[in-house]
Chain A
Amino acid sequence: MWSYIVRRLVQLVPTFFGATLLAFIIIQLAPGDFVTRLELDPTQTRESIASLRQEFALDQPWTVQYAKWVSGVLQGKLGLSLSYKADVWKVIWPRILNSMVLVVLSTLLIYLIAIPVGVYSAIRQYSVGDRILTVLAFIGVAIPNFFFALIMLFIAVWLNDTTGLKILPIGGMTSEFVGGVPYLEAPWWQRTLNVLWHALPVVLVLATTGTAGLIRVMRGQMLEVLNQDYIRTARAKGVAERVAIYKHALRNAVIPIVAGIGFLLPALIAGAGLIEVVMAWPGITPMLLDAISATDLYLVMGFITVTTILLMLGNLLSDLLLAWVDPRIRYN
């Protein structure tokens, strides 16, 4: 196994260079650079535009820029954000942490709901319950996340309106005042509760789509396993139905889902997507969109680097997990 891990880790190196080079080229293919939008500012002279390009090394060929950037990465430095004039890691890390709150909570919720519901749907196939759950799951998969988030905002405003209370937050991650004092001065448990309260509608939105998809997968897996010969054999032997389902069937049906856990690693960092923008959650997505529209080259590259590394490690982890839960798989 160890030689397998080492081999995989060595393979990461060319993959990493290939992926970042490709990203760098794609960013360079897009017209314009960080300084372009300043050119339309009537108060900026040609000379100051040129001087800015020089400062950011944007006047050099992209190959030189890439080489400089890579040598920085090899020394553990992700580079300097053009607009923040600060280390990229310092800029993105607090945002990644904020996103993780959503990702962790919604992932937990998804697994907690989807697995039991999927199993129920499978063992009561075509029952009324299964049909209702199936319809709900299809609706959940069909509604785009960002649209559901807008509806959630609308619900929050309406609910607060009709009750005259602050039942749901209207976007954001923390309140300015908690229990009458500024947020930062409140005790830690009040701050935690405040964040959880703000996370509630966002996590609900996120979990809906995720749950709906996973229910379908779990149901399909379970049905497939339940139709296998060994389940029939187990039943024929007189094993209790409960044992047949939970000991024999579920364990096998859940294998692909366990193997998928490795993919959660990059997902943790990648944030919750446009939901964060709609719900004003201070995650990584709004910042990344800003960086892309401002062509803040190194901020975008830094983020891509981190996700690429985690994606590759997550892949490796998934493969190892799969080998661990499924004895049929060998290291080769």
Chain B
Amino acid sequence: MKKLFVLGMLALAGLALAQPKVFKGTEVGKQGGTLRIATISDPRTFNPFVARETSSTDVIAGPSCGNIFPILTNYNPYTLQPEGCLATSWEVRNNGLTVIFKLRQGAKWSDGQAIDADDVVFSASVHADQKVNSNNRSSFVLDGQPIKWSKVDQYTVRADFPKPYAPALIQGWPIAPEHIFGPAYRQGPEKLQALYNLDTPPAQIVSGGAFLIDSYAKGERIVLKRNPSYWGSDEKGNSVAYLDRYTFNIVSNTEAQLARFLGGDTDLYAAPDGDKVAQVLERIRSNRLSGQIFPNADVTTGTNFITFNWNNKDSFKANLFRQVKFRRAMAYLMDKKSMIDVAQGGLGRPQWSPISIPVRQFFTDDVAKYEFSPQKAAQLLAELGFRTKNKDGFLVNAQGQVLEFNLATNQGNTLRERIAQIFADEAKKIGVKVNYRPIDFNELVRQLTTPAADGTREFDAILIGLTGSIDPAFGRNTWQLNGSLHMWNLGMNGQNPTRVEPFEVLIDKLMTQGATTLDPAKRREIYNQFQKVVAENLPVIYTVAPAYNPARLNRIGGLFDKDQVSAIVGQYPYIETVFTKD
């Protein structure tokens, strides 16, 4: 009796202290089992302040609340609205200039120490430190001014913004244990950077996330194991993660990755092209693989577009590229159907708007579309004075200048190479001389981002892509006049370009408004207008978005079904609620 009483008291005490986060999976699962995935390369570090490549961040951060190092808030995978991870609640004050985050009480590091405000504020200060060069530094600077983090009490932190910031509630930077990183940091940034490298014994790595590092075999696999002291539970109050083990197999070749999945050696896979989709389909249909694949379930957030250089050394070309009629003519030459059928094996979707299609809370399809039409292109070019063809069959204007430009893309990206080829072929048919040439990626970036002393840049046109972000505010660098990726018309040394068009000023204004407006409905309206202005004026001309073709083995549960999978969230809402059925 006494024993029962003590147990009851302990249970009550536990409830009073701990505030577990409830992870609502697609179904209630069971404990145990291993999830096996393939990753393209080794992690470079386990240190959250050094990690830069996705090969490192996928292991220590991951898409959920953090595999090893927890984060304050994230997007809810079902609604894409902010959701608490380590933060239980928040309060916006001061017209949005201040946000107070309440932390989860009872959350512990795997060495038993409490995760509290000291860890959060310390991690924020290290990420913000210019000497550390954390990849998350941009989360702590808003238009050149710092975002300040401070401790209110043990379980409350406060963030002060220099101006209202719409994505203020998304704080997805990894939080590290102060009692481990603090002493090293006080001895200098190099000491801090040397912690948690690949030679650190896994048992010494303290975790505050769903998993612990179990083992790492270089070049082969990283095995994570369940963190028994994690602060999460499922809807029924069972502790998560369900998985005992979560294995990242390092397979650096995409053919070998396919072979692993076909052989049943990995559980989740995303087929990168039509050929690999067909192989997976064939194998599932012939009952040699117990799994599912959803071809074209979504498109990736990555974009592929052509941008013209308005700062061209050749003033004829610079002026031509500035003409919206010219860019619309080029847009009319984009045979997006062929780009999908020929370049992507029938998978993917045409893209018209600057916001990635999977970003559903902001994406709009209601924008100007310049559907493939060589006649309309020819007509627009005639209006620009290119009416006659020379003896080689290329268009010339009254001054005898030939309509000609170079088009470059990065060598080795077969998708972009094919898209560029299709565009160049169509252009040639109506007499536009496109000299297509693939070049080295670094050289491409140099030409794009490095103006000469007089502000001109070398290239004519470049086909390239950017990773789309889940919040358009994170892409301001591309759209604001002084942005370092304002690639069609680039200013010098962080200044605005010397000559700007009215629509660029409008885009700049909309981006600033979008980043500082807190009302979601108003934000949506702003970004709708932004998408319309870009689609109409075409500072960059979008091509086609590659397909997202997720596949899984049937032994895995807790995954999204076909209608729910998305390129942003992935195949499951939370890693915590993924489980194995066998």
Contact = CB atoms under 8 A, between A and B. Distances in A.
Interface of A: 30-33, 36-49, 51-52, 55, 83-86, 90-91, 94-95, 98, 150, 153, 156-157, 160-161, 170-174, 176, 182-184, 277-283, 286-287, 289-290, 295
B198 A84 contact: yes
Interface string B110-142: 000000000000000000001101000110010
Contact of B256 (A31, A55, A182, A279): A279
A40 B144 CA distance: 19
A85 B49 CA distance: 11
B53 A286 contact: no
Contacts of B441: 32, 37
Nearest to B136: A43
Interface in B1-58: 34, 36, 41-42, 44-45, 47, 50, 52-53
B253 A278 contact: yes
Interface in B173-212: 193-194, 197-199
Given A32-B442, A280-B251, A290-B42, 11 more contacts: A38-B52, A39-B445, A42-B476, A46-B484, A48-B133, A86-B197, A98-B219, A173-B217, A176-B221, A280-B253, A280-B256
Chain A at the B interface: mostly helix, strand, loop or mixed? helix
Contacts of B223: 176, 182
B141 A45 contact: yes
B218 A278 contact: no
Contacts, number: 159
A139 B193 CA distance: 52
A161 B138 contact: no
A87 B428 CA distance: 53
Contacts of A47: 130, 144
B478 interface: yes
Contacts of B36: 176
Contacts of A98: 218-219
Interface of B: 34, 36, 41-42, 44-45, 47, 50, 52-53, 130-131, 133, 137-138, 141, 144, 193-194, 197-199, 214-215, 217-221, 223, 247, 249-253, 255-256, 259-260, 262-263, 265, 288, 440-443, 445-446, 449, 464, 466-467, 469, 474-478, 484-485, 494
Contacts of A281: 219
B443 A277 contact: no
A36 B265 contact: no
Contact of B133 (A40, A51, A278, A295): A51
B257 to A, nearest CB: 8
Given A42-B466, A83-B53, A280-B251, A161 B288 contact: yes
A98 B221 CA distance: 14
B469 A43 contact: yes
6 contacts: A30-B442, A38-B52, A83-B52, A85-B47, A171-B259, A280-B260
A40 to B, nearest CB: 6
A184 B225 CA distance: 14
A36 B250 contact: no
Contact of B442 (A48, A85, A295): A295
Contacts of A95: 218-219
Contact of B251 (A31, A37, A171): A171
Nearest to A55: B133
A39 B484 CA distance: 8
Interface core residue of B42, B215, B446 (most chain A CB under 10 Å): B42
Contacts of B484: 39, 44-46, 49
B170 to A, nearest CB: 12
B138 A43 contact: yes
Given A37-B445, A45-B138, A55-B133, A183 B217 contact: yes
Given A98-B219, A157-B263, A31 B199 contact: no
